[in-house]
Amino acid sequence: MGLAYRTLSYQDQIVPQTAYKLHGSSSPISSVSHEREATVTTCLVILMTFLSATSPPGPGVPSDIDGTLDHLPYPVEQPLEWQWIQKGLTVGSTRLQIKPSDPLSKQWTLDARLLWSQPGRTMEISNRSDYQLPSNNPLRTRRESRIGAAGAGEKRGVVASEVDLEEARIRIVVQDPARGSQVDRTIPFPAGTVLLENQAFEHWLLIGLLLDRTEQRKFKALIPSEFRILDLELKKDRVEKIGSIETIRWSVLCRDFTAKIWTGPGGSIEKYLQGELEIRRIRAPAETRPAPPEREPASGGKDR
């Protein structure tokens, strides 16, 4: 069973907070140790993964995917990287690998790590998520975080979740190792709901896949560490090029925040933009160079 990191007001000391926060509003979350409402701040990056509650794929889930990972627009078991840029400066990166499991288990894993730093502030988050094949329904996650600020020490957190597909519900556990406290809840997770978690950019990969293959554009998004749901809508803007890669730019609309994402071939996520924060895919030079022009076949010698 796994989870994602709990974002409390302490995080304002760590993560650049601006008027264009990803989840603009504050909402309450219960604390086991104090039994009071604590202010929940918002995060830098949203992650989403689609879930249907039944075993044929539900609305928005591609039905033409077989039991392999060939449908993903990314290489399997190879390092992938997205660079975090703020005000023109590189401040971090998300590195991940897509890992197949035993073919009999019909599962695959997204293993990601975020490293982020600015003067006096650091953030390190590891996130492992398991998915079902062929539906790509999330099965479980485990997220561990270490966030530090000069003069404020280091804060660690663990958030884990496990989805019960048959019962359409999700169990969420949020742990604070320093206090020895834990929140353990099971809440509804209706068909078509999206999982969304803080600073977990890697799950946009699944959103891009669905944007490329389906017509669903409106989603209910559950943030496990905050036990709340947001209404999201994605609207297609226009076609743009990033280097030699042709992409589609999308607007992400929500009452709490707005953002942009760019999807490439097969729904690959090439870029994310929210205010001054840009997250851009780092591709090998061979992937971004234009294809060389075709040469005409050499002709035979001419008679003189």
> What is the distance between the alpha carbons of residues 209 and 206, in angstroms, rounded to a whole number?
5
In a domain, 265, yes or no: no
β-pair partners for 89: 86
3-state secondary structure of 206: helix
Q: Which of these, 8, 17, 6, 4, lies nearest to 40 by C-alpha position?
A: 8
Element spanning 213, H or E: helix 204-213
Q: Average pLDDT for residues 236-248, to the nearest whole number?
A: 96
Confidence category of residue 294, pLDDT binned at 50, 70, 90: low
Residues 264-278 have a mean pLDDT of 95
Nearest C-alpha neighbor of 242 from the set 274, 203, 287, 205: 287
Contact between 272 and 251 under an 8 Å Cβ cutoff? The reply is: no
DSSP state of 289: S
For residue 134 the two structure tokens come to 């062929």
In a domain, 280, yes or no: no
**Is the confidence at residue 161, as pLDDT, over 60?**
yes
224 pLDDT higher than 60: yes
Number of domains in the chain: 1
Domain coverage including residue 219: 2-232
Residues 6+ apart with CB under 8 A from 82: 93, 94, 201, 269, 272, 279, 280, 281, 282
Cα distance between residue 280 and residue 88, in whole Å: 12
Q: State how far the Cα of 269 lies from the Cα of 263, in Å rounded to an integer.
A: 5
- Residue 256 belongs to a domain: no
* pLDDT tens, position by position, 9-60: 333 333 333 323 333 433 333 333 333 333 333 344 434 333 333 333 333 3
Strands 228-242, 245-253: pairing is antiparallel
Among the ranges given (23-37, 75-89, 142-156, 260-274), the one the predictor scored with the smallest mean pLDDT = 23-37
Position 206 scores a pLDDT of 83
Whether residue 268 has pLDDT greater than 50 = yes
Does any domain span residue 192? yes
Which amino acid does the sequence have at 141?
Answer: T
* CA 90/CA 116 separation, integer angstroms: 9
Return the pLDDT at 144: 95
Check pLDDT > 80 for residue 76.
yes
C-alpha distance from residue 304 to each of 54, 297, 299, 301 (Å): 77, 21, 15, 9
- pTM, rounded to two decimals: 0.74
Examine residue 277 and state whether it is found in any structural domain, yes or no.
no
Whether the CB-CB separation of 25 and 254 falls below 8 Å is answered with no
pLDDT tier at 246, thresholds 50, 70, 90: very high
Compute the distance between CA of residue 230 and CA of residue 222 in angstroms, rounded to an integer: 7
Position 31 in a domain: yes
Q: What is the 3-state secondary structure (H, E, C) of 250-277?
A: EEEECCCCEEEEEECHHHCEEEEEECCE
Asked if residue 264 is part of any domain, the answer here is no
Domain for residue 118, yes or no?
Answer: yes
Measure the N-to-C terminal CA separation of the chain; round to a whole number of Å.
Answer: 80
Q: What is the per-residue pLDDT for 293?
A: 54
Mean per-residue pLDDT over the chain, rounded: 76
**Residue 237 pLDDT more than 90?**
yes
CA atoms within 13 A on the CB side of 55: 3
